[in-house]
Amino acid sequence: MKLFEDLKILAQNSGFRKLIGVRLVSQCGDGMFQAGLASLFFFRPEAMTDAAGVAAALVVMLLPFSIVGPFTGPFLDRWRRRQVLLYGNLLRAGLVLLAAFADQMYGDGPVVYTLALIILGLSRFMLAGLSAGLPMVVGSKERLLMANSVVPTLGGVATAVGAVIGFLMRLLLPEGASQQVASLVVACLLYVGASAVARALGKDELGPEHPDSASSLGAKIKQTAVDLVDAVRYLARRGTPGLALSTMALHRFVYGMQLITIILAGRNLLVDPRDADAGIAAFGTLMGAMVVGHGVAVVLTPIAHERIAPSQWVVLCLTGGTLGQLLIVFSHQQTIFMVGMFIFGIGVQGAKIAVDTIVQSDTADAYRGRAFSIYDVLFNVAECVAAGVAIFLLPDIGWSRPVQIGLIVFVWTVALGYRYLVGRLDDKPRVIA
């Protein structure tokens, strides 16, 4: 089969192996770091237990992706990407150690928040550098498509593995300073390891092939902003991709509210709030149920696409996912909660995959990269907005029957509005001269 043939060729490529090695090690470090942040911010006895504290921490974790993401291009077009990976990972390692020290000295205050912002911003920069360097170590366009499918999937698995190990360390280590910062220390070591792997690459192996040094950096950043505005206008004029992105951004607000709900419920409702370890286990159970739902959606969505249009699947997934929210309306018993999050997870991921398909197929190649940058920004901004709203609407136990009912009504409104507007376009993108 051509699939296995392409995978074999990629595996024999030394540059590709080194690049994916950097990605796997560094993203495992990302998972450990995120687990460490979760332990510091959410799951220790003296840590924040109210909606305001959780919301603030989530904004810290999400904001860098919104701000840094779209503006990485001008830097990655000027600097050797191998050097970015080499020194960027070393810088992250040092900052993570500093964050662990600051937490022990001053607690999870402004210093730790600031360092977390910088580290997460650098993480986004590292991922952009890895993506930009991938075509340089992959031969044909066909194998590049294969690499683009394999590499992010493996990277996501590495992040999940790092997070799981980090949470297990938290549960297994004795209570105290070592328990609180162990994940951060291991993340530091993994970033150093990623830097060591990056050193094996040739200085110019990842490009850029033609460094863009003719124009000033400020001019390039300004042009990036102009290009993003142009892409927003294009997506709006094109119709179907703009509607799909807007719909998923609105639903991401709902996802953000549910994420804060399960953090607070795991911390304060399902277990004794004084037992931080039990809290992290309860949260992991709820989050795990939603992730299993994501996996089911990966199987169901290709089958559905053989029978119905992607836009129809978006509507079906969004409305179907509210069945899970409806279960949560009637009960916050842990098993019911898990089933609800499982169904909700199917809806979230199924709709996202369909929207990805719509954006890829209905967007011209010249705008496709910018479209997904905008997609990324919208996702993270929507979750930040959800965090702000959660401060005023969610109780400290996370579970609220009126809020869940309101979110269900909101999802149905968004889904039906999307269906109506797509129907007016006959489910086809507008032709733009």
How far, in Å, CA of 68 to CA of 48, rounded?
Answer: 27
Min mean pLDDT across 23-27, 44-48, 247-251 is at 44-48
In whole angstroms, give the CA distance from residue 129 to residue 23.
10
pLDDT at 249: 93
Q: What is the pLDDT of residue 47?
A: 56
Do 257 and 386 meet the contact criterion of CB atoms below 8 Å apart? Answer: yes
Q: What is the 3-state secondary structure (H, E, C) of 251-281?
A: HHHHHHHHHHHHHHHHHHHCCCCCCHHHHHH
- Binned at pLDDT 50, 70 and 90, residue 247 comes out as very high
Question: Does the CA dihedral 210-211-215-221 come out positive or negative?
Answer: positive
Single out the residue of 337, 322, 329, 351 nearest to residue 411, CA to CA.
Answer: 322
Each residue's pLDDT tens digit, 322-357: 999 999 999 989 999 999 999 999 999 899 888 888
CA distance 22 to 36: 21
Q: Kindly indicate the confidence band of residue 225, based on its pLDDT and cuts at 50, 70 and 90.
A: confident
Q: Is the pLDDT of residue 169 over 80?
A: yes
DSSP line for 59-78: HHHHHHHHHHGGG-HHHHTT
- In percent, the amount of the chain with pLDDT more than 70 equals 87
Say if residue 304's pLDDT is above 90. no
Task: Inform me whether the pLDDT recorded for 288 exceeds 90.
Answer: no
Q: Taking all residues of the chain, what is their mean pLDDT, rounded to a whole number?
A: 84
| Angstrom distance (rounded) from CA 165 to CA 189 | 14
Round to whole Å and give the CA distance between 261 and 399: 6
| Contact indicator for 396, 264 with CB cutoff of 8 Å | yes
Residue 237 CA to residue 220 CA, distance in Å, equals 25
CATH fold group of domain 215-424:
Growth Hormone; Chain: A; (1.20.1250)
Residue 278 pLDDT class (50, 70, 90 cuts): confident
Mean pLDDT of 6-34: 86
Position 86 pLDDT exceeds 70: yes
For position 258, what pLDDT does the model report?
A: 95
Instruction: Name the pTM for this structure.
Output: 0.77
Return d(Cα 344, Cα 96) in angstroms, integer: 34
Q: Residue 290: which of 160, 394, 124, 152 has the closest Cα? A: 160
Q: What is the pLDDT of residue 142?
A: 61
Cα–Cα dist 206/329, whole Å? 51
pLDDT of residue 22: 95
Comparing 240 with 361, the larger pLDDT belongs to 240
Which of 4-8, 43-47, 231-235, 261-265 has the weakest average pLDDT? 43-47
Instruction: Please say if the pLDDT value at position 403 is more than 60.
Output: yes
Write the pLDDT tens digit of every residue in 115-165. Answer: 888 888 888 788 878 877 877 888 665 666 567 657 766 777 788 788 888
Q: How many residues does the chain have?
A: 433
Residues 66-94: what's their mean pLDDT?
82
Q: Hey, is 176 helix, strand or coil?
A: coil
Give, in order, the Cα–Cα distances in Å from 301 to each of 293, 312, 315. Answer: 12, 11, 13
| pLDDT given for residue 186 in this prediction | 93
Q: What is the mean pLDDT of residues 95-99?
A: 93
Q: Where in the chain is the domain with CATH 1.20.1250.20?
A: 1-212, 215-424
Sequence-distant (6+) residues with CB within 8 A of 366 are: none
The DSSP 8-state label assigned to residue 430 in this structure reads: P
Q: How far apart are CA 264 and CA 399, in angstroms?
A: 8
Measure the CA–CA gap between 51 and 35, rounded to whole angstroms: 19
Which of 39-53, 63-77, 288-302, 417-431 bottoms out in mean pLDDT, i.e. has the lowest?
39-53
Q: How far is it, in rounded angstroms, from Cα 330 to Cα 309?
A: 33
Task: Provide the pLDDT for residue 168.
Answer: 84
pLDDT range class, residue 44, cuts 50, 70, 90: low
What mean pLDDT do residues 389-415 have?
A: 94
Give the CATH fold of the 1-212 domain: Growth Hormone; Chain: A; (1.20.1250)
Distances in Å between the Cα of 323 and the Cα atoms of 256, 337, 340, 360, 399 are 18, 12, 7, 29, 16
Q: Could you tell me which of 394, 295, 424 has the C-alpha nearest to residue 349?
A: 295
- Give Dmax over CA atoms of the chain in angstroms: 65
The predicted pLDDT at position 254 comes to 96
